[in-house]
Structure 1
């Protein structure tokens, strides 16, 4: 898998492109040739940045090397005291509430805080209408980006493979306030020849952290093996679903690892990336979801290793493995940066941020892991970024993303106005040729090839482009697909409503289905206003066939896309009315120039 683009995102784009292309082809063909489960919320009530109090018997006593032959995988207290009890540690920060377990010294939860930091909730039709009339519906749970997978290593736990293995569930002693920093935790564990010290530290704010792993060989012999860093996330299928043509665009999370110059991903039902493609310089690894990402990356730059992936309907896992060679008495240190938060391009573009660089002692030229590559616009990246820039501008003026989408539609409509005028002129000219085309069809009723040749000759003599009427639709299709892609990847618009309870999330389907149904009605009106260039039976098919296809396709697609196309149709109705009045009064201008009076409702200036 050398393609850095997301298979899921590309599949969604292809489905929308196929739907629009089929509708376009059908139009041209008929016209011219036929004629919950809640997630843990982490620590509550604690002050941000303060470690919650631990049980009195948990202790932080120093840990001595285990008794020879001890195979339990549990650190043993000094003087062969009984094994340490498991200890839970909570750290409630403003952006994320973290929970750790001393069994593996890994995360048991990383719950993002804030109104937008939630799972994407699917409402029933009844709940959608209840929301529409203002009834309170329980919100989706906060996004937990480190939900442990039962029976599997905790997120951020480590293991060592080789002749002297270290299991991922090794029990560690805990020291809070690592290095005198209230925002730090240190875990110390020993097993066989290994002494492992793991330190987590956070800058004063943000979604980033540093993760230092010190591995010391306490034996008198050199030790070789492979250090594995695990990251996993349990998934509730109620909040994630696979994409399908009429069933929605999907929001499955994926196991991810950026190796060499390629972002490797795996979703449920997919084959894992090739071993060779997953081997090389590891830039970052973690779990990539539609609007959130949890990733670790080597602070000093890409590190030689390889990644292994697992993706089931209820779990995503990725393990990054790095060669480990430690001489007798030597200590090897691996330092990672971490980002557990939203896929906000402005935040991802500066990882590691100033706070983390300062905490980790990094300079301005610190390694940048390119986490922004997880925001995948595919082949539509250029158009997506232009559309998002325009929408962000209008959102800055209005404070509402729905209004921003409407104003974007107006801008695109104005830009395409000259082309729309030429299109209507072309359709009017083709309409005037209808009687002669009917004569050709009757004359060559038994010879379709000769029919087409004669009709094309007629177009050439009249200097008419038969596809001119389809050009505005053809130009709009890339805009629709790019807007769809932007909505499915832009955290800025994620969870944003239109007005109050109306269409509660513009990046998700309209649960009431009112918007796509209104879109279908507006398309019927638009089709009826088009110049009829076919017989009555064919015109009837096209008047109803195209709107039904669009409506059925968009029922499960983002409400923001339906809002754009609906607004576009309303503007088209007004535009066609004004252009028709102009053409009736003035006739087509030579060269197809756009009349300046159109914007004024057809009156001369």
Structure 2
């Protein structure tokens, strides 16, 4: 089975890995060789579920088009069809989500998540970052709206039928509320041509889930067939999304997604549309997947044979799931979907459909589990990411601050690597003692680089010194850095969480003041200067400044939590190097020749 977890975050992982690998490679080389949307229906909060029903208004899409009279006058109603009902809007305010529906298309006009974390990821300018630092009030990002209609496209949750007797996606529906109002459920009924479509939406008492039942009845005396299409689209404000780039940030683009067959098909602006063959098969789920939020529909009884059509532009993402439909005369076909519109919290996604939804849909334990938790993509670093997150969650439970949790995680990793760091420093000190002999070899074979390398490697062997010993802690830290970066870019727990008040307001996003990555660069310069220099003065000077500059430029646009981790690691490394060097000086052999092997190698060369 192909891995369904491959969003653009994998590209970000590769870019970070490339930057780290480039820095390490440079070290090794020098060591050896030298759209307008309707306003949200409500503000943030946890109001009790309520409903506001608007009367006749232009609240929905335009009325389904009807052919004009012969004289070009008012459109006539097709034979056998009743006049379309007036457009209405229904607002449903639940504690978790404020929904707004239009009877024109019987779809969503908004689905605004409630709560301080349920917001768009806001990018602040440098000026705004410093204003926030000194306490100036900066308006927060808007609440996350998972159902902003795309102009000219069907509303989210709208349906249409393609075939000989089509049903437009903007067909006008009548609205009926449940016995206790819209909080219990909504029923939309639409009729056109041979079709009668009844759409029923219900919600459990709490949570981000819903049930979406479609009943399609053939009212004619002839069998009817076609493709039943379920639409979901979302208008995108480019101010809150950007594509990833190497030095421009990791990106947070939402994507059109459909898991069909054994693979997740996805699309962001600039991607080619998936091949038609790859989008046909059993449909597991479909919707819009963003970094920390998800809106998805899935067949409740299990994957249903069909196909998906994905589109992605800078201002819109859409997905249309099509299912073959054949209905005999007078027959009714029923399709039942589950829906999830909320944060990508693994504890919530792992149980979809949850017990309240199964109970509301009378499904018991037979409901299909669509594996929405797989949209949280840790890629090849999943094992390390989950370990790091578990450690950070433990410390967050003790301190209540994710920034402090990251600092304590750094301390734990540093302690685990302490034995290896000690051996690394011993190795570097031993190589440092061989520097005079290495300089002699370079002068002796100044015109023969190959001979230089052979002689130096022979010297290492005789002294039993591993020149790579000093690089081992860095090699081991790289997977930790990349896994932490991946965890920050996928963990809703840390999303929107600050470190200290207004400072570093979101650990999963870049530091708008750039103070933290700049401090990281300074600490890395100090760390480099404290390390034993195993190269000539020119090479050492280049590496002392080159490596910190590369890291600083790379991390300027990367999550502040990652910069906090590496900065803390550098501070601990400075203290560690100082302490270990003092310890080595007190315990070095009294011969003054370093370890016996180094002293012997030097003696044989005299």
Normalised-by-shorter TM-score class: over 0.9
Task: Give deviations 1:349-400, integer Å, cap 9, x for gaps.
Answer: 0000111010000112421000001100111111000000000000000000
Secondary structure in 2 aligned to 1:142? coil
Which deviates further from its counterpart, 288-297 or 80-89? 80-89
1:55 equivalent in structure 2: 55
Which deviates further from its counterpart, 340-349 or 5-14? 5-14
| Structure 2 segments unaligned to the other structure (5+ residues) | 59-65, 598-606
2:62 equivalent in structure 1: none
Secondary structure in 2 aligned to 1:277? helix
Secondary structure in 1 aligned to 2:318? strand
Secondary structure in 1 aligned to 2:8? helix
1:87 equivalent in structure 2: 88
2:505 equivalent in structure 1: 504
1:225 aligns with 2:210: no
Alignment check: 8 A CA contact 2:178 2:186 kept: yes
The whole-number CA distance in structure 2 between the counterparts of 1:274 and 1:413 is: 48
1:8 equivalent in structure 2: 8
1:600 equivalent in structure 2: none
The whole-number CA distance in structure 2 between the counterparts of 1:20 and 1:306 is: 41
Task: Give deviations 1:165-198, integer Å, cap 9, x for gaps.
Answer: 1110111111112698742111000111000000
2:381 equivalent in structure 1: 380
Alignment check: 8 A CA contact 2:427 2:466 kept: yes
Secondary structure in 2 aligned to 1:506? coil
1:596 equivalent in structure 2: none
Residue 551 of structure 1 deviates from its aligned partner by 0.5
1:573 aligns with 2:577: no
1:515 equivalent in structure 2: 516
Residue 119 of structure 1 deviates from its aligned partner by 0.2
1:209 equivalent in structure 2: 210
Secondary structure in 2 aligned to 1:520? helix
User: Where in structure 2 are the equivalents of 1:449-460 lying within 5 Å?
Assistant: 449-460=450-461
The alignment's TM-score, normalised by the length of structure 1, stands at 0.92
The whole-number CA distance in structure 1 between the counterparts of 2:263 and 2:17 is: 25
Residue 47 of structure 1 deviates from its aligned partner by 5.2
Per the alignment, do residues 455 and 201 of structure 1 end up closer, same or farther by CA in structure 2, a change over 3 Å counting?
same
Per the alignment, do residues 256 and 57 of structure 1 end up closer, same or farther by CA in structure 2, a change over 3 Å counting?
closer
Per the alignment, do residues 80 and 565 of structure 1 end up closer, same or farther by CA in structure 2, a change over 3 Å counting?
closer
Residue 40 of structure 1 deviates from its aligned partner by 2.7
1:249 equivalent in structure 2: 250
Per the alignment, do residues 78 and 222 of structure 1 end up closer, same or farther by CA in structure 2, a change over 3 Å counting?
closer
The whole-number CA distance in structure 2 between the counterparts of 1:57 and 1:424 is: 76
Alignment check: 8 A CA contact 2:46 2:95 kept: no
Residue 80 of structure 1 deviates from its aligned partner by 7.3
Residue 130 of structure 1 deviates from its aligned partner by 1.1
1:543 equivalent in structure 2: 544
Task: Give deviations 1:475-494, integer Å, cap 9, x for gaps.
Answer: 10010000000000000000
- Alignment RMSD: 2.6
The whole-number CA distance in structure 2 between the counterparts of 1:181 and 1:565 is: 51
The alignment's TM-score, normalised by the length of structure 2, stands at 0.92
Residue 101 of structure 1 deviates from its aligned partner by 0.7
The whole-number CA distance in structure 1 between the counterparts of 2:505 and 2:36 is: 21
Per the alignment, do residues 75 and 229 of structure 1 end up closer, same or farther by CA in structure 2, a change over 3 Å counting?
farther
1:597 equivalent in structure 2: none
The whole-number CA distance in structure 2 between the counterparts of 1:79 and 1:382 is: 62
1:40 equivalent in structure 2: 39
1:177 equivalent in structure 2: 178
Residue 56 of structure 1 deviates from its aligned partner by 7.4
Alignment check: 8 A CA contact 1:300 1:367 kept: yes
The whole-number CA distance in structure 1 between the counterparts of 2:221 and 2:93 is: 42
Task: Give deviations 1:63-93, integer Å, cap 9, x for gaps.
Answer: xxx99x99x9x99799977532111111010
The whole-number CA distance in structure 2 between the counterparts of 1:96 and 1:587 is: 67
1:401 equivalent in structure 2: 402
Per the alignment, do residues 274 and 339 of structure 1 end up closer, same or farther by CA in structure 2, a change over 3 Å counting?
same
Per the alignment, do residues 46 and 349 of structure 1 end up closer, same or farther by CA in structure 2, a change over 3 Å counting?
closer
Alignment check: 8 A CA contact 1:248 1:556 kept: yes
2:17 equivalent in structure 1: 17
The whole-number CA distance in structure 2 between the counterparts of 1:395 and 1:361 is: 38
1:344 aligns with 2:345: yes
Task: Give deviations 1:387-440, integer Å, cap 9, x for gaps.
Answer: 000000000000000000000000000000011001001101111111111122
Per the alignment, do residues 307 and 428 of structure 1 end up closer, same or farther by CA in structure 2, a change over 3 Å counting?
same
The whole-number CA distance in structure 1 between the counterparts of 2:38 and 2:454 is: 66
Secondary structure in 2 aligned to 1:154? coil
Per the alignment, do residues 57 and 255 of structure 1 end up closer, same or farther by CA in structure 2, a change over 3 Å counting?
closer
Which deviates further from its counterpart, 437-446 or 419-428? 437-446
Alignment check: 8 A CA contact 1:391 1:404 kept: yes
Per the alignment, do residues 349 and 112 of structure 1 end up closer, same or farther by CA in structure 2, a change over 3 Å counting?
same
Alignment check: 8 A CA contact 2:460 2:466 kept: yes
The whole-number CA distance in structure 2 between the counterparts of 1:259 and 1:171 is: 31
The whole-number CA distance in structure 2 between the counterparts of 1:389 and 1:193 is: 56
The whole-number CA distance in structure 1 between the counterparts of 2:135 and 2:272 is: 45
2:462 equivalent in structure 1: 461
The whole-number CA distance in structure 1 between the counterparts of 2:243 and 2:76 is: 43
1:306 equivalent in structure 2: 307
Per the alignment, do residues 2 and 279 of structure 1 end up closer, same or farther by CA in structure 2, a change over 3 Å counting?
farther
Secondary structure in 2 aligned to 1:52? strand
The whole-number CA distance in structure 1 between the counterparts of 2:497 and 2:536 is: 45
1:98 aligns with 2:99: yes
1:595 equivalent in structure 2: none
